Structure 1
Amino acid sequence: MQHDVQACLLDMLIAARRALRRLGDMSEEEFRANEDAQWYMFSQLVIIGEAAHRVERSVQSQYPTIPWNEAISMRHRIVHGYDSIDWGIV
């Protein structure tokens, strides 16, 4: 299934901005102690990773500064390993 590249890129940008707006001023210590913040970050990372996965590789290669593989891999790891997330790595 082919997805709208612009929509996927916009979804990634919006999710990243949401995470920064809500969590950007939080220290790592505060983040580790705040379960709501962790699950908020989880949801934004899922959106970023899924949207990245929907962008075809030929298009991804046109944007080499975006860490496509890292975003997609992070989504995979947190979704399938939701019960053992190391928030210090996230």
Structure 2
Amino acid sequence: MLEYAQTAIRILGKANAATLAADQTSFLAVSYAVQVIGEAANKVSPAGQAALPDVPWRDAIAMRHRLVHGYRSRSAEIMVQTIAVRLPELTAVLERILNKSVDDERSGALPSEDQ
């Protein structure tokens, strides 16, 4: 999820809805990245989602469903809003979770893969 969020943010860059709508390759690329994020979120068990309540699971899954099933509702404005506002929030949450996991493993709070 983190990798695809970072990729979508990078591809979008400083584009606005008009420039994204005019660039079909970038629009399809960021749409795919957001779709993958939602698909990954949907694969996390309810217990896993409950354990990480700061992750916007339902929003990610809902956006994936909108992209996959609502072809006519694909909007460059919604995509820009999602990528420019929501994905930086998501990346911050995921980075915090991953950094905490690494710190916990280093401190011995979590067993390492070797144990």
| TM norm structure 1 | 0.77
Match of 2:62 among 73, 81, 85: 73
Measured in 2, the distance between the counterparts of 1:84 and 1:77 equals 7
Q: What is the match of residue 86 of structure 1?
A: 75
1:20 equivalent in alignment to 2:1: no
Q: 1:24/1:63 Cα in 2 relative to 1: closer, same or farther (>3 Å)?
A: farther
Q: What is the match of residue 40 of structure 1?
A: 29
Going by fraction, where is helix more abundant, 1 or 2?
A: 2
* CA deviation after TM superposition for structure 1 residue 61, in Å: 1.6
Measured in 1, the distance between the counterparts of 2:48 and 2:27 equals 31
Given residue 58 of structure 1, which amino acid in structure 2 is its aligned partner?
Answer: A
Asked which structure has the greater CA Rg, the reply is 2
Measured in 2, the distance between the counterparts of 1:31 and 1:40 equals 10
Describe the superposition over 1:35-57 as per-residue Cα deviations: whole angstroms up to 9, x where unpaired: 11110111101110000000011
Detail structure 1 runs of 4+ shifted over 6 Å in the superposition: none
Q: How many equivalent residue pairs?
A: 79
| C-alpha contact 2:11 2:30 (8 A) present in aligned 1 | no
Structure 2: runs of 5+ lacking an equivalent = 80-115
Q: Sequence identity of aligned pairs in percent?
A: 38
Q: CA RMSD in A?
A: 1.4
* CA deviation after TM superposition for structure 1 residue 58, in Å: 1.1
* CA deviation after TM superposition for structure 1 residue 64, in Å: 1.7
